[in-house]
């Protein structure tokens, strides 16, 4: 991402996140008088032993403005077990993901689906999409050649990893739109790596939405939006936060430190008033001084990202296979991935 460094005036600092649950948290923090209730936003959370499932519904333009996201559904499963090699827990999450993908897709018998794995396969934190595509059961080329009893159990599915503009010289949206115009699928499922606000959500959350996706938005490279308006078909976006913006991480750390300092400082003292009066621009200047030339383009990811992204790709691919193909069950998943 190209970014100009201002010498006289720093640009306003913007916390970067692709997760609706974090956008809601920030919206609630900015309007403390309303508490957790936001106009035009409905939230349901289900807490289980190993995971939590949160459904954020943005219902109106007012809610969209507050959240900074399009009107629609955002479903997020969070679990530390996503980082671990817990097969039994992963199978439960695959089942839940498949149910929610099926509910968002609203497919009818015979509808075809295009699965697009967005991202750069040469960079592990950005390789989630291509890794998922490599495990998808593709069947479009087999239609009409399978025995009747088998053909009834699978749906026409095609898959593509379009790469990134730095490799192909072609914008991802242009590639996807060309394929959609040629194949006329009923639905696009796009998988992409995301950016989170909180480091504890890295590789520990999977978000599904029916509002589309902007490839590269997580790292500031906003491209053509992939959504129903631009493609003419419904789009389901599935993503995992694999990185956190360094400036955002430092900002949240500073907020926590300042909060602790305020709690430990005598109310009404000069130091207390100084902490309360610290403006966002002043914090941005402190962040810029700490990170130096890396303020706008440094992202952080865990050291075990290689193994974790492989496991997450397997979970997402298996859930898509089960959601799309009527004849695929939990007992079958590892045969096709």
Question: Quick check: 309 and 127 in contact, CB under 8 A?
Answer: yes
274 φ/ψ angles, rounded to the nearest 5 degrees: -65, -40
Q: Which domains does the chain have, with CATH numbers?
A: 20-248+295-335 (3.40.50.1450)
pLDDT in the model for residue 1: 38
- Residue 322 confidence class, pLDDT cut points 50, 70, 90: very high
What's the pLDDT tens digit per position in 189-246? 999 999 998 888 999 999 999 999 987 554 555 568 899 999 999 999 999 999 987 7
| Whether the predicted pLDDT of 328 surpasses 50 | yes
| Whether the predicted pLDDT of 330 surpasses 70 | yes
Question: Quick check: 294 and 69 in contact, CB under 8 A?
Answer: no
pLDDT in the model for residue 2: 40
Distance of CA 252 to the CA centre of its chain: 20
pLDDT in the model for residue 3: 40
Question: Quick check: 254 and 283 in contact, CB under 8 A?
Answer: yes
Question: Quick check: 59 and 40 in contact, CB under 8 A?
Answer: yes
Point out the least confidently predicted range of 24-28, 94-98, 280-284, 321-325. Answer: 280-284
The count of other CB atoms within 10 Å of the CB of residue 45 is 12
| Whether the predicted pLDDT of 53 surpasses 80 | yes
Single pTM value for the model: 0.83
Place of tokens 């009404």: 268
Question: Quick check: 301 and 242 in contact, CB under 8 A?
Answer: yes
What's the pLDDT tens digit per position in 112-147? 999 999 999 999 999 999 999 999 999 998 887 777
- Residue 56 confidence class, pLDDT cut points 50, 70, 90: very high
pLDDT in the model for residue 10: 46
Question: Quick check: 161 and 121 in contact, CB under 8 A?
Answer: yes
Any idea what the Cα angle at residue 302 is, between residues 297 and 304, rounded to 5°? 135
pLDDT in the model for residue 160: 97
How high is the mean pLDDT of the chain?
A: 84
Residues making up the chain, counted from first to last: 337
299 φ/ψ angles, rounded to the nearest 5 degrees: -125, 150
Two tokens, residue 186: 């009923």
pLDDT in the model for residue 208: 97
SS3 146: coil
| Most confident range, picked from 60-69, 72-81, 263-272, 287-296 | 72-81
First vs last Cα of the chain: how many Å apart? Answer: 34
């Amino acid at each position: 991402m190209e970014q100009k460094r201002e010498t006289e005036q720093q640009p306003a600092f913007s916390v970067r996140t692709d997760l609706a649950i974090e956008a809601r948290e920030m919206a609630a923090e900015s309007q403390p008088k309303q508490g957790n209730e936001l106009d035009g936003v409905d939230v349901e959370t289900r807490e289980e032993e190993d995971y939590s499932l949160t459904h954020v519904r943005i219902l109106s333009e007012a809610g969209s403005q507050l959240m900074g996201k399009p009107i629609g559904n955002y479903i997020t499963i969070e679990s530390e077990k996503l980082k671990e090699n817990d097969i039994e827990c992963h199978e439960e999450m695959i089942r839940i993901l498949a149910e929610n993908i099926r509910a968002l897709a609203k497919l009818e018998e015979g509808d075809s689906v295009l699965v697009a794995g967005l991202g750069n396969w040469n960079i592990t934190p950005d390789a989630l999409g291509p890794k998922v595509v490599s495990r998808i059961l593709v069947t479009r080329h087999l239609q009409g050649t399978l025995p009747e009893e088998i053909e009834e159990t699978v749906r026409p599915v095609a898959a593509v990893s379009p790469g990134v503009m730095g490799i192909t010289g072609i914008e991802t949206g242009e590639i996807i739109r060309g394929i959609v115009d040629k194949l006329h699928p009923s639905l696009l499922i796009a998988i992409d790596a995301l950016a989170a606000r909180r480091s504890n959500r890295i590789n520990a959350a999977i978000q599904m939405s029916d509002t589309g996706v902007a490839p590269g938005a997580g790292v500031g490279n906003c491209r053509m939006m992939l959504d129903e308006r631009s493609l003419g078909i419904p789009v389901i976006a599935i993503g995992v936060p694999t990185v956190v913006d360094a400036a955002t991480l430092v900002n949240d750390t500073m907020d926590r430190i300042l909060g602790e300092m305020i709690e430990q400082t005598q109310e009404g003292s000069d130091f207390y008033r100084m902490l309360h009066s610290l403006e966002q621009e002043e914090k941005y200047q402190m962040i810029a001084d700490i990170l130096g030339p890396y303020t706008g383009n440094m992202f952080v990811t865990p050291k075990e990202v290689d193994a974790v992204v492989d496991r997450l790709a397997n979970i997402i691919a298996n859930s898509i296979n089960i959601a799309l193909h009527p004849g695929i069950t939990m007992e079958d998943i590892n045969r096709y991935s």
